[in-house]
């Protein structure tokens, strides 16, 4: 008898948990981490290691634009966590690009290690916007066909007459979403590129040299490298290593 009570309690807990999940499916789902999620975790006093583990094991939707990185820094998120957010976002884009490349008939499995993490996997903001609009604009209907058959019998002047007819077919429906009224043809919005002002904002926010350089290496850039502009950068405590990274990024973008 003494063994029946624990078994009954365990059975009751299982049934109760299953009922709760059935009533509220969201209880069994993990939240998608955003910038605000990380800020909340930091303010709540979670350890750096705990937050980084969550970033690495959860679905994420981080905004790693320069302005948002500066905002994270000002709101108390430490630099190592911010760097992890940047790495998580870039690695996610890279793996998606790698999956697309695998479908190419000329792509060899031996090439995977070489291409993994390469510049080829960085989706430009314009590419992301174009892909999103294309996915929203095209909806494909069922490709299965339909078949109908009819048979008629009757008697005419020349005696019995019969007729059989059979119809088969298939169709693909493509629905084009019209542009919003008054807006004309849809246009792609070009995301702002990282410029001198963005670098100055990161330096003023207290980002380390390594984080600034990593941001330069993973962004689309449009720097002013004239003598006057470089002098202004130096006056605002931008290091020579950062200026060198800016120069290299501009050379690669040509």
Span 164-199, pLDDT tens digits? 555 455 444 444 455 555 555 545 445 578 999 999
What sign does the CA torsion over 2, 6, 11, 15 have? Answer: positive
Q: Tens of pLDDT along 199-254?
A: 999 999 999 999 999 889 888 899 999 999 999 999 999 999 999 999 999 998 77
User: 159 pairs with which residues across the strands?
Assistant: 156
- Global model pTM greater than 0.75: no
pLDDT at 121: 46
Any long-range contacts for 30-35 (C-beta under 8 Å, 24+ apart)?
Answer: 30/58, 30/59, 31/58, 32/58, 32/59, 32/60, 32/61, 33/58, 33/59, 33/60, 33/61, 33/62, 34/60, 34/61, 34/62, 34/63, 35/62, 35/63, 35/68, 35/71, 35/72, 35/85
What does the block give as tokens for 45? 């006093």
Q: Is the pLDDT of residue 21 over 80?
A: no
How confident is the prediction for the chain on average, in pLDDT? Answer: 71
**What are phi and psi for residue 249, nearest 5 degrees?**
-65, -40
Cβ atoms within 10 A of the Cβ of 4, count? Answer: 8
Q: Would you kindly state where each structural domain of the chain is located, as residue ranges?
A: 12-102, 192-254
E strands along 97-252, which residues? Answer: 146-156, 159-169
């Amino acid at each position: 008898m003494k063994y029946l009570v624990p078994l009954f309690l365990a059975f009751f807990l299982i049934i109760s948990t299953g009922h709760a999940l059935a009533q509220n499916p969201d209880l069994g789902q993990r939240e998608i981490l955003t910038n605000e999620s990380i800020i909340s975790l930091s303010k709540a006093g979670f350890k750096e290691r705990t937050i980084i583990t969550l970033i690495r094991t959860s679905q994420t939707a981080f905004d790693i634009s320069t302005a948002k990185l500066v905002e994270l820094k000002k709101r108390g998120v430490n630099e190592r966590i911010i760097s992890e957010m940047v790495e998580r976002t870039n690695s996610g884009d890279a793996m998606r690009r790698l999956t697309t490349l695998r479908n190419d008939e000329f792509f060899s499995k031996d090439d995977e290690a070489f291409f993994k993490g390469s510049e080829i996997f960085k989706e430009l903001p314009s590419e992301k916007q174009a892909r999103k609009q294309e996915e929203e604009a095209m909806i494909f209907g069922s490709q299965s066909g339909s078949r109908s058959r009819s048979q008629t019998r009757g008697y005419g002047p020349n005696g019995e007459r019969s007729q059989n007819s059979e119809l088969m077919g298939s169709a693909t429906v493509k629905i084009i979403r019209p542009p919003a009224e008054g807006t004309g043809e849809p246009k792609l919005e070009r995301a702002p590129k990282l410029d001198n002002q963005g670098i100055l904002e990161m330096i003023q926010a207290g980002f380390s040299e390594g984080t600034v350089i990593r941001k330069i290496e993973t962004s689309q850039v449009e720097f002013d490298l004239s003598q006057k502009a470089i002098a202004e950068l130096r006056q605002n405590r931008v290091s020579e290593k950062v200026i060198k990274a800016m120069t290299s990024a501009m050379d690669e973008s040509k």
